[in-house]
């Protein structure tokens, strides 16, 4: 009788323990978590999906699962526009002993997040680190593109042009694309605009390519002077100073400051248009 009870106990214990382990294994299996995280990502729930990928990193020591999770989480952070967070996240995985091809992919993703986060100097630093971190491995074409774009953003046209020509030559294309660097944008001088506006009202605005604002500035400043002179002649001395002179002074100083702002806007616009053209061409070349 006692033996029967003991056997029953043992068998029940084994059944439930095994079942419990199976349930746990099933619940926490990486595949399940991954499928769930992927479906959340597809549904646009990037925050929840990123928790799923983090759970894989927490649960698993298997490098293949870890890599899936790292790429997944990076995708989520990029979709959320959290590029700086993506940069830091990937930085923490740089030293992990993954196969070199995976480390290279992490390196590239980090450079991409850095570029999207507008840290252009850091992009160049990451590109420079490539050769000694991945001994002899050729940088991916997209990494070279990032370098060219980062140099463009920093206005380092000469270096960007060199990198661009090397890149185009290496692509070995049958039909060469038009050389965009033959028409590098000519940027205007902020100091020159200020200087012009200082001595010739409205000239800085003309120089910045805004004739409408230039004419308005000339008219207002002239009106100020005219009012001051007329008032003075008619013995309205207080009005001459407090309205005429003050109007001229305020618009003159404002005009100098405005010319500076307009030149900066002009330069930024030119740079953006050029960078956009280069970006489009490079992406087209990559697809060929």
Q: Is 81 in the site for other proteins (CB under 8 A)?
A: no
226 binds other proteins (CB under 8 A): no
Separation CA 251–CA 198 (nearest Å): 11
Residue with tokens 């927490």: 58
Within 8 A by CB and 6+ apart from 10, the residues are: none
Q: 48 to 77, contacts with other proteins by CB under 8 A?
A: 48, 50-51, 54-55, 58
C-alpha torsion sign, points 104, 105, 107, 111: positive
Q: What whole-number distance in Å separates Cα of residue 33 and Cα of residue 90? A: 21
| C-beta of 40 vs 160, nearer to other proteins | 40
Q: By CB under 8 A, is residue 17 in contact with other proteins?
A: yes
Between 9 and 219, name the residue whose CB sits nearer to other proteins: 9
Q: 246-287 and 190-199 are packed helices; what angle lies between their axes, rounded to 10 degrees?
A: 160
For residue 36, state whether it binds other proteins (rule: CB under 8 A): no
176 Cβ contact list (under 8 Å, min separation 6): 168
CA distances from residue 107 to 96, 222, 287 in whole angstroms, order as listed: 12, 60, 21
Q: What CA–CA distance (Å, rounded) separates 103 from 109? A: 10
Single out the residue of 7, 20, 62, 183 in contact with other proteins (rule: CB under 8 A): 20
Q: How far is the CB of 246 from other proteins (least distance, A)?
A: 8
Interface pick for other proteins out of 2, 3, 7, 19 (rule CB under 8 A) = 19
What tokens were used for 288? 């060929």
- From 135, 235, 287, 288, residue interacting with other proteins (rule: CB under 8 A): 235
Rule CB under 8 A: say whether 96 interacts with other proteins.
Answer: no
Query: Is the Cβ of residue 71 or residue 236 nearer to other proteins in the bound state?
Result: 236
Q: Which of 2, 3, 5, 212 binds other proteins (CB under 8 A)?
A: 5
- The interface mask with other proteins, positions 145-174, x = CB under 8 A, is ------------------------------
Q: Give Rg (Cα) of the chain.
A: 32
Closest by CA to 164, choosing from 2, 73, 281, is 281
Q: Does 253 bind other proteins (CB under 8 A)?
A: no
**Residues of this chain that bind other proteins (CB under 8 A):** 5, 8-9, 12-13, 16-17, 19-20, 23-24, 27-28, 47-48, 50-51, 54-55, 58, 235-239, 242-243
């Amino acid at each position: 009788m006692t033996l029967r009870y003991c056997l029953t106990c043992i068998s029940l214990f084994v059944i439930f323990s095994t079942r419990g382990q199976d349930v746990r294994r099933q619940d926490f299996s990486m595949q399940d978590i991954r499928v769930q995280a992927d479906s959340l990502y597809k549904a646009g729930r990037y925050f929840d999906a990123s928790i799923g990928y983090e759970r894989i990193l927490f649960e698993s020591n298997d490098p293949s699962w870890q890599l899936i999770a790292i790429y997944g989480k990076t995708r989520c952070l990029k979709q959320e526009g959290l590029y700086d967070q993506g940069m830091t996240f990937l930085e923490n995985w740089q030293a992990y002993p993954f196969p070199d091809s995976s480390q290279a992919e992490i390196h590239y993703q980090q450079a991409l997040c850095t570029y999207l986060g507008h840290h252009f100097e850091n992009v160049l630093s990451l590109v420079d680190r490539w050769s000694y971190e991945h001994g002899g491995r050729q940088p991916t074409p997209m990494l070279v593109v990032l370098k060219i774009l980062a140099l463009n953003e920093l206005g380092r046209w000469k270096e960007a042009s060199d990198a661009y020509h090397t890149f185009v030559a290496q692509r070995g294309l049958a039909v060469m694309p038009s050389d965009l660097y033959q028409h590098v944008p000519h940027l205007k001088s902020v100091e020159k605009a200020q200087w012009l506006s200082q001595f010739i009202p409205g000239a800085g605005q003309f120089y910045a390519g805004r004739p409408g604002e230039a004419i308005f500035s000339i008219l207002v400043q002239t009106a100020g002077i005219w009012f001051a002179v007329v008032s003075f002649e008619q013995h309205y001395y207080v009005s001459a100073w407090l309205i005429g002179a003050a109007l001229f002074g305020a618009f003159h100083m404002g005009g100098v400051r405005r010319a500076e702002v307009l030149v900066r806007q002009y330069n930024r616009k030119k740079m953006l248009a050029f960078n956009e053209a280069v970006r489009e061409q490079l992406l087209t070349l990559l697809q060929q």
